Structure 1
Amino acid sequence: MRKLVYYVAVTLDGYIAAEDGTFDGFVFEGDHMEGINAVYADTLPTQFREALGLQDAPNRNFDTVLMGRNTYQIPGGLASPYAHLRQFVVTSQALDTPDDVELIGEDVLGRVRSLKAEDGLDIWLCGGGKLAGELLPEIDKLLLKIHPVVFGRGIPLFDGKADITKFQRTAAQLFESGVSFMTYERP
């Protein structure tokens, strides 16, 4: 069975983006970029993979990406940001999307459960906080790029009402840039 993996950058105070949905405060230079991207190149937008000469690299971790409408519609975003993955956007609003981006408008938990039951690589939940809060019962693993910055306010890692859920740290990697890469899994 595939896992639902919430892989996201987060601030020290638990935000995945500023209030306006941007993430300019995160550290985009340093040894963590090469180190993490070498393992998780399948999470790079398709245009960046092409710029790095990775367009033909096989996906090693994920073959499916799940995102909320706000994550999909970030300022300057692409119509098909992860064309090398099967793309799903969770939204109750009608969106004009290309054929390779599928909308999920209802029974999100049921749809995620059916995706997890399919054969394939894991499913990447790339945001946002409200969707992560809703899908917490189905999240099997957290991959957190913890950046040495405080936003003070913004979009939380998990937004909304959620039950207490325990995870166990299974890996930790520290970088000179100050970014920590932490892996947590359900016990």
Structure 2
Amino acid sequence: MFGEFPETVPTHVRASLGVEGVEGKHFDAVVMGRGTYDPGLRLGITSPYSHLAQYVASRSLGTSPDPAVEIVSGDVPDRVRKLKEQPGLGIWLAGGADLAGQLVEEIDEFVVKTYPVFAGSGIPMSRAGFGIRELELTDLKRFGGGQVVTTYARRR
């Protein structure tokens, strides 16, 4: 499951799922970490979410392989704050724990997908370090296979 929103489905998959051309309701931009961007790039997919404004946070990727993808190599939280000031829909964070850790103070909503599998230590949601950040449950969806999607809003 790529996400419950059609706009989170990569462009190259959208047609086969019947969501090609469907307008996004939640996001019009995506911020990816280099680790999220690289698997598609290795397959020659330089613009995985061409229906969204695309930003890749990377200190090592010097120039963008695609004019539709902006490389953010400096202050990522500052760039995200500037994006949030622009009119439009939301920004989807499609990155790992390192990027989430850098952006933890900029995240307004957490969508957590839980699958009915016990995998041991797992993958951390963020490497932000310990800090109490109060959240409020705003949505809960259960799916037939036991998956659960919980949505939390940031209490400020």
* TM-score, structure 1 normalization: 0.75
Partner of 1:87: 54
Instruction: Give the aligned partner of residue 115 of structure 1.
Output: 83
| Structure 1 runs (4+) greater than 6 angstroms displaced | none
Indicate the RMSD between aligned Cα atoms, in angstroms. 1.9
Q: Which residue of 1 aligns with 2:114?
A: 146
Percent identity between the two aligned chains: 38
Alignment-derived partner of residue 70 in structure 2: 102
> Given the superposition, is the C-alpha separation of residues 124 and 83 from structure 1 closer, same or farther in structure 2, using an over 3 Å criterion?
same
Q: Secondary structure at the match of 1:137?
A: coil
Distance 2:86 2:136 in 1: 26
> How far off its partner does 1:148 sit?
1.2
Quick one: distance in 2 between partners of 1:93 and 1:70?
11
Residue 25 of structure 2 is matched in structure 1 by 60
Aligned with residue 125 of structure 2, among 153, 157, 165: 157
Contact 1:91–1:104, Cα closer than 8 Å, also in 2:
yes
Q: How far, CA to CA, are the matches of 1:154 and 1:91 in structure 2?
A: 24
What is residue 37 of structure 2 aligned with on the other side?
72
**Which structure has the higher relative contact order (CA within 8 Å, separation 6+)?**
1
Normalising by structure 2, we get a TM-score of 0.89
In structure 2, what is the Cα distance between the partners aligned to 1:67 and 1:114?
A: 16
* Offset of residue 171 of structure 1: 1.0
Contact 1:66/1:123 (<8 A) preserved: yes
Q: How many residues align?
A: 152
User: What CA distance in whole angstroms lies between the structure 2 residues aligned with 1:139 and 1:160?
Assistant: 12
Instruction: Name the aligned partner's letter for residue 176 of structure 1.
Output: G
Unaligned runs of 5+ in 2: none
1:31-70 residue pairs with structure 2 within 5 A?
Answer: 37=4, 40-70=5-35
